[in-house]
Every structure is written in structure tokens, then in C-alpha cells.
Homo-oligomer: A and B are copies of this chain.
Amino acid sequence: MKIKCCDSSLDENKAKDLLSNSGLNRTKMKVTILLELSSAKTPLSVADIYQELGDESCDKSTVFRTINQFKEKGLVREINLGEDFNRYEIINPDHEHSHHHHHVRCRECGDIKLIEKCDLSPFEKMISKLGYKKMEHYLEFTGICSKCA
């Protein structure tokens, strides 16, 4: 099992705590997936996750089910970067992926970078005036990166 715990702010114990606090069982599989998401430099697809596990692989249905649980419990957020599958990234107060942000994806090489800043409050204020509540927004960028230009 290859889990890169380099600069990750999540270790096995913290992962287990997160699971317990979310009412999920602290199984080996759930911990593994959570750590993999935590140490990833970019949002991962479900295929990324179960291919990464290699020998100790688990079934893709398990990954899908686990990810959906994480999503329901607010441990991960789902994003779509214009590919034909979704990606997931961890939400953890101690983690750099946790705060609200967006992404740029290179349409050539597929490389994904984080965009830290986001102020769409003027938009949301105006939409609120139309009677909408509980606004959420979804914003992603694509472009051609400097390597591919």
C-alpha cells in the first residue's frame, strides 16, 4: 500500500478521528482512501483512487460508496473540471484544500492548479434579491498552460 504522507496534514490517527466524528466505521479501506485524498496534490477521480491502491486494491464499487459517504458527511467535495468524470478533494479544517477555492485545468495536458481567491458575493447578493436562498456557486477555469502554449 503506497500512501504518500509527505506534507499531508492528515495522519492515520486524525483520519480515524474524522471517520468516528462523522459516524463512519474506522475501516482500513476508509482510512486508506481518506489518506490518499489528503495527500493528493490535485483532486482525484474514483479511478485515480482505486488504480493507485494497486495490489491492495479494492473494488471500484467500494470506492464509489465510500466517496459518496464522505460527500454526505462533508468530508470531501465533488468537482467537475470539464472531464467526463468527477473529481474529489478533501475538506479538512487543517488542510490546505479545505477552504473555498477553484481550479484551472489546462485543456492540453490536463494539469490542474488551485485558484485561492474567490469573491462572488456581488453575484450572490443580486441573485438573493430574486428570492433565492442557500446560494452555492460552482466556478472552474480552463486554459492553455505555459508549457503547452
Residue numbers of A with Cβ under 8 A of B are 1, 3, 80, 82, 104, 106-107, 113, 115, 117-118, 120, 123-124, 126-127, 130-146, 149
Could you pull out 21 A-B pairs where Cβ atoms are within 8 angstroms?
A: A1-B123, A1-B126, A104-B127, A104-B130, A104-B132, A107-B134, A115-B123, A115-B126, A117-B126, A123-B141, A124-B141, A127-B143, A131-B146, A132-B144, A133-B143, A134-B144, A135-B142, A137-B142, A138-B138, A138-B139, A138-B141
Copies of this protein in the assembly total: 2
Name the distance in Å between A112's Cβ and chain B's nearest Cβ. Answer: 12
Name the distance in Å between A144's Cβ and chain B's nearest Cβ. Answer: 5
